[in-house]
Amino acid sequence: MSVVEIDRVAKHYGSVAALDGVSLTFADGEFFGLLGPSGSGKTTLLRAIAGFVEPDSGGIRLDGRDIGRVPVHRREIGMVFQNYALFPHMSVFENIAFGLSVRGERGASVVKRVTDMLGLVRLAGLEARQPRQLSGGQQQRVALARALVTRPRLLLLDEPLGALDKRLRQQMQIELKQIQREVGITTIFVTHDQEEALTLSDRVAIFNEGRVVQAGSPHAVYERPATAFAANFLGDANFFEGRVRGGRIITEAGALTTADPLPAAGQPVMLAVRPEKIALARAGDPAPGNANRLEGRLSQAVYSGMSTTSKVTVGEREVTVFEQNRSERTLEPGQTVRLEWSPAHSVVVAP
């Protein structure tokens, strides 16, 4: 069992709050993503858990034990850095065995554990190579094996796939998730890549300016963002601002409805609508009775094979629509079109 509890952790650098009273719990065996822009606090939290950063206040507990004053090498934590930090003069075997040798372990037990790790990360047969003879994905797996060979209670990953190209990064996402499931280790990873967070995480926390904006399953945070920042950082969103009147939100673009609870009449409201939730139709086509509907001019349609991303000008604003290419219908820029979406997909968010 490895449960990590972060209790009101704060860290300041001068007047800047890198962490501003952050509280989170990472469950046993969970793959938890820390997502946010540069300088939002996610890496500072990871380094505080590892012991490289000392918080100004708050507590960090591993299985109920406060590890705030425990030295880095005694925290039983494995860590993989973005640049992998492999020793260039050592072989793959020696790199993986390094943590064991530091602990004074020798002989057949080391050989067995390194061999087991090579099998786990699918590098068997490459143990004699040096890092420069490996691809980026192979180097990443060596770094992962080195972090796991000492049997840590917790695994920390700092932008683990950031140095890889897109295709290899997508492949390694699947492999990393599979390896984590096989080992069953509690894993916390930092990323600024939305797709990576959605693919890998059991739960995700979105950081901004040293605070957790929202935490939950990727599905929950994506489908029901609590704030405009969360909606815009995890995916794309269209925003409509207006005031409540007669059970609807009166915006500059038109009157809109939502399934979410609304404040009192006259109060301001912001709605977020994901681009893929909106359907495009010709202005004169039949419309469902319960949908939100806005008319505008199609200003741009970018075809990318699997999908089309369209920009529609509605009054003074531009609305983005994302559609899978499942229809023979074609719409041309300059046409008047209608936007339609369900009230359930109009999400009330804090500005």
**What's the confidence (pLDDT) of residue 200?**
93
Q: Name the pLDDT band for 83 (thresholds 50, 70, 90).
A: confident
Domain that includes residue 282, residue range: 238-349
pLDDT, averaged across the chain: 92
Sorting pLDDT into bands at 50, 70 and 90, what band is 331?
Answer: confident
Contact 5, 60 (CB under 8 A): yes
Q: Is 90 exceeded by the pLDDT of residue 9?
A: yes
Q: Say whether pLDDT at 289 is over 80.
A: no
Return the pLDDT at 288: 67
Q: How far is CA 73 from each of CA 149, 150, 174, rounded to the nearest angstrom?
A: 14, 11, 30
Per residue in 138-178, pLDDT (tens digit) is: 998 999 999 999 999 999 999 888 777 778 888 888 888 99
Point out which residues pair with 62 in neighbouring strands: 4, 65
Report long-range pairs for 102-106 (Cβ below 8 Å, ≥24 apart): 103/150
In DSSP terms, 204 is beta-bridged to 33, 216
Torsion of CA 208, 214, 220, 222, to 10 degrees: -20
State the pTM of this model. 0.89
State which of 199, 225, 251 marks the end of a domain.
Answer: 225
> Is 308 found in the same domain as 219?
no
Residues 64 and 172 in one domain: yes
**Pair 217, 328 in one domain:** no
Query: Based on the domain organization, do 70 and 40 belong to the same domain?
Result: yes
Whether residue 329 has pLDDT greater than 70: no
Q: Are residues 21 and 167 in the same domain?
A: yes
Q: How confident is the model at residue 1 (pLDDT cuts 50, 70, 90)?
A: low
Residue 193 makes CB contacts below 8 A (sequence gap 6+) with: 161, 162, 169
CB-based contacts of 333, cutoff 8 Å, min separation 6: 298, 299, 300, 301
User: Which of 29, 22, 81, 24 has the alpha carbon at shortest distance from 50?
Assistant: 81
Local confidence band at 184 (pLDDT 50, 70, 90 cut-offs): very high
Residues 207 and 265 in one domain: no
Same domain, residue pair 142 and 90: yes
What values do phi and psi take at 166, rounded to 5? -60, -50
Residues 74, 184 within the same domain: yes
Domain boundary among 175, 194, 225: 225
- And the tokens for 319? 């609305």
Is 90 exceeded by the pLDDT of residue 85? no
Q: Are 212 and 55 in contact (CB under 8 A)?
A: no
pLDDT of residue 215: 97
The end-to-end CA distance of the chain, in Å, is: 39
* pLDDT (average), residues 70-87: 89
Indicate if 248 and 332 belong to the same structural domain: yes
282: phi then psi, degrees, rounded to nearest 5 = -65, 150
CATH number (domain holding residue 244) = 2.40.50.100
* CA gap 26, 111 in Å, rounded: 33
* pLDDT at 37 > cutoff 70: yes
Residue 81 lies in a domain: yes
Domain final residue pick, 225, 251, 272: 225
Distance set, CA 97 to CA 71, 83, 275, 323 (Å) = 21, 19, 49, 50
8 Å CB contact between 93 and 123:
no
List, for residues 231-243, the tens digit of each pLDDT value: 999 989 999 999 9
Q: How far apart are CA 27 and CA 62, in angstroms?
A: 10
Number of domains in the chain: 2
pLDDT digits (tens, 9 = 90+) for 101-137: 888 788 888 999 999 999 999 999 999 999 999 988 8
Three-class HEC string of the chain: CCCEEEEEEEEEECCEEEEEEEEEEECCCCEEEEECCCCCCHHHHHHHHHCCCCCCEEEEEECCEECCCCCHHHCCEEEECCCCCCCCCCCHHHHHHHHHHHCCCCCHHHHHHHHHHHHHCCCCCCCCCCHHHCCHHHHHHHHHHHHHCCCCCEEEEECCCCCCCHHHHHHHHHHHHHHHHHHCCEEEEEECCHHHHHHHCCEEEEEECCEEEEEECHHHHHHCCCEHHHHHHCCCCEEEEEEEECCEEEECCCEECCCCCCCCCCCEEEEEECHHHCEEEECCCCCCCCCEEEEEEEEEEEECCCEEEEEEEECCEEEEEEEECCCCCCCCCCCEEEEEECHHHCEEEEC
